């Protein structure tokens, strides 16, 4: 049931238009951070207000929405955001990745390859990949304009000198179409290869920092690395203990106080689907 | 056996019910009404309106009630509500010179036209708990005497006349609106003052305090602090003139600070300015000190690297709704990222242990 006191998908039409303009600009300049007049939403900054505003601006009544957090549909914040749109937009919701037209995510890209016509909306805490190297916004914008990314390469080099490996395992920086260095949001670097050449539209919303950026379908996205230290997506060296998948990102679950662990797919819908298929196969 | 954490939805519903029960407290105690909060927790209401950027004492009272007295949470409720309000225009500039004054003091002159009016202030109270307030039923009344409407010009305008004050920059430009446009750097003074006016009282206070202790010295005198109500007028195109649409309470502070000047220009006092909705003089004074500190560049002062001189630092961190959201979000699940950190540290440790073992053998 839609809450009639609010406009469709909560935001008023003028605000949605403002956000759509920023989205179009972001799609036209892949990886460029477009400032937008982020609104105060009824959930706190840090809970996905950027993603929620982007989703609100994209949703139509015909859409089917999926919301995940940590890859799972039933984490509390994913539940809360899904309920928010059920209440304010009355759209259909789903847990099946392939059935969704809009997917809002925090920290993961689904395992099932996305298809043309789908939109993946990321929640972004710190959109600026250079922020921890240079805190000043006025400086980092100049660095992006000039493609001046030496500082980032020095940081990655210093990691290797100190630890023998690049010490970034999530929010691993990428370069988009040979120009802008972009923060892919805090997805594990395991997911980085899915950013490039993806059939879906990928939109990134950072509410508190008032930035939107985007990757149009089939964009060239390269994870930063060195020839002698190539980028390496990593995952736990196990298979899923529930569905047996050997190629998915796994959560490590502590099962007792004796050091026992089990590993399960972080993408719950993918895992459940595989389990159901295996059961159906066994029954036949 | 591993139990998947299904049931997030039920947990949320149950948590909300528990929260509502806790908010009400002991049902044997009468419930607080919004009217009571508005009338008796006025300064809390004022703070919530100021930082919530929405002048509505009833809604602010409701927010405080709903937030169980957590004022930042109440500010957040008001801000989120503000998002949904249509913007149909802007008022005429409010003339604080025409303020109906309830309090007006100057620390720079013993007396001035319009006089010093102490008003309802804590300043000279002794901070002794008044146990009589624990008993109910008391209705204090203050002595009253009829007064003539006083003409109280801004005190700094009197110094202005002698050329001792730096002139105010006059412009007809429409100021940026940080609630409608993304904040951009460098931020001009109107934008800085807007951000500070809705900034967290504690943060702005500490920034101002730091300048007093030497981190970017401003040495401010309170030229004038005034509290009172001002008319809000709006130009209506259909009528062709401005009409009064209401009144708001404001606190305004103007500070006098040390000089600017050069070989060709004689020295002049400089200004710091703070304007805050409601009665909130701690905040207004703080804003005016921070405003003055942020003006180092235009006044040709040195940047000594003090936090209060750093516009980006002050403006990007003064908003408590942004700050508390981002701070508290780290309690949301992060296990996907933590898992990749686990893989990384295990890998680095393996790499580090292998040569150590080889060396030992």
Q: Are B65 and B25 in contact (CB under 8 A)?
A: no
For the CA atoms of A275, A276, A281, A284, what is the dihedral angle to 10 degrees? Answer: 140
Express each pLDDT in A87-108 by its tens digit. Answer: 999 999 999 999 999 999 999 9
Neighbour-count burial of B334, counting CB atoms closer than 10 A to its CB (0-12 exposed, 13-18 middle, 19+ buried): middle
Express each pLDDT in A225-275 by its tens digit. Answer: 999 999 999 889 999 999 999 999 999 998 888 889 999 999 999 999 999
* Same domain, yes or no: B156 and B29: no
pLDDT at residue B361, rounded to an integer: 65
* Same domain, yes or no: A41 and A91: yes
- Residues A29-46, mean pLDDT to the nearest whole number: 94
A156, part of any domain: no
A123, part of any domain: yes
Express each pLDDT in B310-352 by its tens digit. Answer: 999 999 999 999 999 999 999 998 989 999 999 999 988 888 8
Cα gap A276→A96, rounded to integer Å: 13
* Residue among B5, B83, B88, B340 with most chain A CBs within 10 A, to mutate: B340
* Same domain, yes or no: A70 and A92: yes
* Residue among A46, A167, A237 with most chain B CBs within 10 A, to mutate: A46
* Same domain, yes or no: A206 and A242: no
Residue-range definition of the domain harbouring residue B267: 96-119+151-168+175-324
Domains contained in chain A, number: 2
Neighbour-count burial of A249, counting CB atoms closer than 10 A to its CB (0-12 exposed, 13-18 middle, 19+ buried): buried
Cα gap A199→B254, rounded to integer Å: 58
Cα gap B114→B96, rounded to integer Å: 14
Q: Are A98 and A113 in contact (CB under 8 A)?
A: no
Contact: B2, A253; criterion CB under 8 Å: yes
**Smallest Cα distance from B31 to chain A, Å:** 26
pLDDT at residue B93, rounded to an integer: 92
Beta strand A102-106 pairing with A261-265: unpaired
- Find the closest chain A residue to B1 by CA distance: A255
Contact: A35, B86; criterion CB under 8 Å: no
Cα gap A77→A123, rounded to integer Å: 12
Give residues with Cβ within 8 angstroms of B33, minimum separation 6.
Answer: none
Beta strand B221-236 pairing with B100-105: antiparallel
For the CA atoms of B174, B180, B184, B186, what is the dihedral angle to 10 degrees? Answer: 30
**Enclosing H/E stretch for B204:** helix B201-212
* Same domain, yes or no: A101 and A180: yes
* Same domain, yes or no: A178 and A209: yes
For A38-42, A111-115, A267-271, B60-64, which range has the lowest pLDDT when averaged over its residues? A38-42
B352 touches chain A (CB under 8 A): yes
Tell me the Ramachandran region of residue A251: left when phi exceeds 0, alpha when psi lies from -120 to 50, beta otherwise. Answer: beta
Beta strand A102-106 pairing with A92-93: unpaired
Residue-range definition of the domain harbouring residue A239: 235-284
- B 213-242 residues with CB < 8 A to A: none
Distance set, CA B5 to CA B145, B191, B337 (Å) = 68, 46, 18
- B 118-177 residues with CB < 8 A to A: none
**Smallest Cα distance from B219 to chain A, Å:** 28
Cα gap B231→B235, rounded to integer Å: 13
pLDDT at residue A1, rounded to an integer: 45
- Find the closest chain B residue to A186 by CA distance: B337
* Same domain, yes or no: B55 and B156: no
Neighbour-count burial of A4, counting CB atoms closer than 10 A to its CB (0-12 exposed, 13-18 middle, 19+ buried): exposed
Residue of A117, A178, A240, A281 marked catalytic:
A240
**Domain's final residue, options B83, B106, B141:** B83
Contact: A46, B4; criterion CB under 8 Å: no
Q: Rounded to a whole number, what is the distance in angstroms from the first to the last CA of chain A?
A: 41
* Same domain, yes or no: B267 and B305: yes
- Find the closest chain A residue to B11 by CA distance: A76
ipTM of this predicted complex?
A: 0.83
Residue of A26, A31, A48, A205 marked catalytic:
A31
Q: Is A58 a catalytic residue?
A: no
- Domain CATH for A207: 3.40.50.11310
**Smallest Cα distance from B352 to chain A, Å:** 8
pLDDT at residue B115, rounded to an integer: 87
* Residue among B5, B188, B332 with most chain A CBs within 10 A, to mutate: B332
Domains contained in chain B, number: 2
A50, part of any domain: yes
Contact: A10, B9; criterion CB under 8 Å: no
B25 touches chain A (CB under 8 A): no
* Same domain, yes or no: B277 and B233: yes
The residue ranges of chain B whose pLDDT is under 70 are 1-7, 356, 359-361
A93 touches chain B (CB under 8 A): no
Tell me the Ramachandran region of residue B139: left when phi exceeds 0, alpha when psi lies from -120 to 50, beta otherwise. Answer: beta
B14 touches chain A (CB under 8 A): no
* Same domain, yes or no: B243 and B274: yes
DSSP B77-117: HHHHHHHTS-----PPPP-GGG-EEEEEE-SS-S--TT--B
Contact: A210, B183; criterion CB under 8 Å: yes
* Same domain, yes or no: A189 and A282: no
* Same domain, yes or no: B73 and B213: no
**How much is the CA Rg of chain B, to the nearest whole Å?**
26
Closest to B280 (Cα-Cα) out of B64, B70, B49 = B49
* Same domain, yes or no: A109 and A213: yes
* Same domain, yes or no: B308 and B206: yes
According to DSSP, the residues that pair with B222 across neighbouring strands are B255
With contacts defined as CB-CB under 8 Å, which chain B residues touch A253?
Answer: 2
* Same domain, yes or no: B39 and B164: no
* Same domain, yes or no: A239 and A122: no
Distance set, CA B32 to CA B24, B52, B62, B291 (Å) = 9, 22, 10, 38
pLDDT at residue B319, rounded to an integer: 96
B100, part of any domain: yes
A189 touches chain B (CB under 8 A): yes
């Amino acid at each position: 049931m839609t809450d009639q006191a609010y406009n469709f998908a909560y935001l008023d039409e003028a605000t949605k238009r403002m956000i759509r303009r920023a989205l179009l600009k972001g799609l036209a300049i892949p990886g460029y951070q477009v400032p937008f007049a982020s609104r105060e939403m009824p959930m706190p900054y840090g809970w996905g207000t950027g993603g929620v505003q982007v989703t609100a601006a994209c949703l139509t009544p015909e859409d089917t929405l999926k919301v995940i957090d940590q890859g799972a549909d039933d984490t509390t914040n994913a539940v809360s955001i899904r309920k928010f749109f059920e209440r304010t937009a009355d759209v259909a919701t789903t847990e099946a990745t392939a059935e969704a037209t809009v997917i809002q995510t925090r920290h993961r890209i689904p395992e099932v390859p996305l298809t043309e016509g789908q939109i993946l909306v990321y929640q972004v805490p710190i959109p600026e990949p250079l922020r921890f190297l240079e805190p000043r916004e006025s400086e980092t914008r100049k660095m992006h304009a000039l493609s001046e990314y030496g500082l980032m390469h020095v940081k990655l080099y210093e990691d290797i000198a100190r630890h023998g490996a690049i010490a970034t395992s999530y929010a691993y920086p990428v370069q988009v179409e040979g120009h802008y260095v972009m923060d892919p949001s805090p997805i594990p670097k395991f997911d980085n290869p899915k950013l490039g050449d993806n059939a879906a539209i990928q939109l990134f919303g950072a509410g508190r920092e008032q930035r939107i950026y985007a990757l149009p379908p089939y964009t060239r996205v390269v994870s930063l690395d060195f020839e002698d230290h190539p980028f390496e997506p990593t995952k736990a060296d196990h298979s899923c203990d529930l569905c047996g998948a050997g190629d998915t990102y796994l959560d490590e679950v502590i099962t007792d106080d004796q050091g026992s662990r089990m590993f399960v797919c972080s993408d719950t819908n993918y895992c459940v689907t595989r389990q159901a298929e295996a059961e159906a196969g066994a029954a036949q | 056996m591993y139990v998947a954490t299904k049931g997030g939805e039920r947990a949320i519903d149950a948590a909300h019910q528990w929260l509502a029960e806790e908010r009400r407290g002991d049902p044997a105690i009468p419930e607080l009404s919004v009217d009571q909060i508005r009338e008796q927790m006025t300064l809390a209401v004022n703070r919530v309106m100021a930082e919530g950027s929405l002048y509505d004492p009833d809604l602010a009272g409701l927010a405080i009630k709903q937030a169980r007295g957590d004022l930042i949470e109440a500010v957040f409720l008001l801000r989120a509500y503000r998002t949904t309000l249509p913007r149909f225009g802007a008022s005429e500039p409010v003339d604080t010179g025409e303020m109906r004054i309830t309090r007006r003091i100057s620390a720079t002159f013993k007396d001035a036209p319009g006089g010093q009016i102490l008003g309802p202030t804590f300043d000279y109270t002794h901070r002794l708990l008044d146990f009589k307030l624990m008993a109910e039923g008391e209705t204090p009344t203050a002595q009253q005497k009829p007064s003539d409407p006083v003409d109280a010009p801004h005190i700094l305008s009197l110094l202005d006349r002698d050329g001792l004050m730096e002139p105010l920059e006059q412009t007809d430009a429409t100021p940026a609106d940080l609630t409608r446009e993304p904040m951009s750097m460098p931020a001009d003074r109107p934008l800085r003052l807007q951000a500070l006016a809705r900034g967290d009282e504690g943060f702005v206070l500490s920034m101002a305090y730091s300048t007093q202790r030497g981190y970017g010295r401003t040495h401010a005198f309170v030229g004038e602090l005034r509290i009172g109500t001002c008319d809000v007028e709006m130009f209506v195109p259909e009528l062709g003139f401005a009409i009064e649409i209401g009144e708001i309470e404001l606190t305004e502070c103007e500070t006098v600070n040390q000089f600017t000047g050069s070989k060709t220009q004689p020295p002049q006092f400089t200004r710091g300015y703070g304007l805050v909705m409601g009665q909130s003089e701690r905040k207004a004074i703080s804003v005016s000190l921070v405003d003055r500190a942020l003006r180092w560049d235009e006044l040709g002062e040195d940047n000594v690297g003090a936090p209060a001189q750093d516009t980006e630092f002050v403006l990007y961190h003064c908003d408590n709704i942004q700050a508390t959201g981002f701070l508290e979000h780290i309690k949301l699940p992060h296990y996907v990222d933590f898992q990749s950190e686990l893989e990384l540290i295990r890998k680095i440790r393996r790499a580090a242990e292998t040569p150590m073992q080889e060396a030992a053998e």
